[in-house]
Structures are given as C-alpha cells and as structure tokens.
Amino acid sequence: MLPDTPVKEDEPPLPGVTPSKLLSPRKKVVNPVPREPVLDARPRLEGWRMTCRSHIFRHSLVEIAKKFHRKFMEKIGLFMNDSEYSKLRRFHPKFDLDVECGRIPEAEIPDVPHDDADRHFEMKDYLATVDDSVSLPNTVDAVLEELKSPVKKVISSATAVPLSPRQFAEKQASKPKGAMSLLERV
C-alpha cells in the first residue's frame, strides 16, 4: 500500500573532507583538508521553494477534502477499505465540497522578524552608528563639507584649455619654446 503523504527521507551526511585532486607533474600533492559543513537553516523564499510550498498546501487541502469525502461515502452507505479508497480518482458526483466540508481552522501566520539592530536601510542610519573616533585629514573634511553643501563651486584653472580655438592658439604662442620639464611632459 502506498502512503497517502510523501515521506522525507534523511539525506546522507556530507563528506568530511574535500575531494582529492589528481597528481600533476607541475604541482604538489594536494592533501585533503577536513571540514565541517556549515548548514544555514534560515527560511528562504526562492521561487522554487514557493512553488514547492504551494504544492504542499494544495496536497494538504486535498487530504482534508478526502477525509470529508470518506465520511460522506460512509453516510450514504458506501463502505470501502483503504486499498479501494486509495484507487479512487475522483469524488462522488453528489459530494458537494461546500456543503459537506466543515470550516478549516485558521492558523496564525508567523510574523516577519524585525532585526532593526542589524539592518540599516539608508546611509544616514549607518553613519549614525559608525564610531567617529578616527578623524580624517582636514582637506578630506573640507571636501566632504563641499560635497554635502547644496552650493557648488565653479572650478577654474589657469592651465585649463580655453573655450575657443583662437584663445588656445594665443596661449600656445606665448609659451616658451624651450625644452619641456619632466612635469610638463607628463
């Protein structure tokens, strides 16, 4: 007789060592290192797990309906043994699921854990918890303050390329024609 519900069998334990590699003429022999597998038992919500959970939920509902169907069959006078009942592929035509089945008790859905101490949703929240005991150089602090402020400075340099080609040509003509220093070449 086949069981009504699937039974999960225990999986064999993981091996205690890493697989050994083949010998190579250029490499040393690799010795297997013993390791302990780290099992992560946190609840997961990947797509395939959600699909499996929906199948299990549907199976549980069908099993409840089968119990009420069996009571209905006994009420109308049709008695079957377990092997005959397990071979049934559909419900009796007069079996009304809405009328015959009682209310299924509601179960509490577990709350989502809220670990506010470990989660930082924004950078401000994270920076509020960071220790400021190590100070940054003054130049870095000044740059950070400039980046934080809404007013942005216009950066202009005397060595920047002018906007028009005529100004660029005039500037090149005014430069000395002698040998360039190492800094200028770089």
Give the start-to-end residue ranges of the domains of the chain: 64-103
Q: What is the pLDDT of residue 17?
A: 64
Query: Are 56 and 6 contacting, i.e. CB atoms less than 8 angstroms apart?
Result: no
Helices and strands, number each (H, E), in the chain: 7, 0
- Confidence band for 115, pLDDT divided at 50, 70 and 90: low
For the segment 16-40, what is each residue's pLDDT rounded down to a tens digit?
666 666 666 666 666 777 888 877 7
- 147 vs 65, more confident: 65
Q: CA–CA separation, 130 vs 136, rounded Å?
A: 14
d(CA 64, CA 101): 8
Q: What pLDDT does 21 receive?
A: 61
- Strand pairing partners for 17? 34
Categorize the per-residue pLDDT at 155 as very low, low, confident or very high, splitting at 50, 70 and 90. Answer: low
* Count of alpha carbons within 13 angstroms of residue 10, beta-carbon side: 3
Query: What is the SS3 assignment for 34?
Result: strand
Q: Are 3 and 21 in contact (CB under 8 A)?
A: no
pTM of the predicted model as reported, rounded to 2 decimal places? 0.38
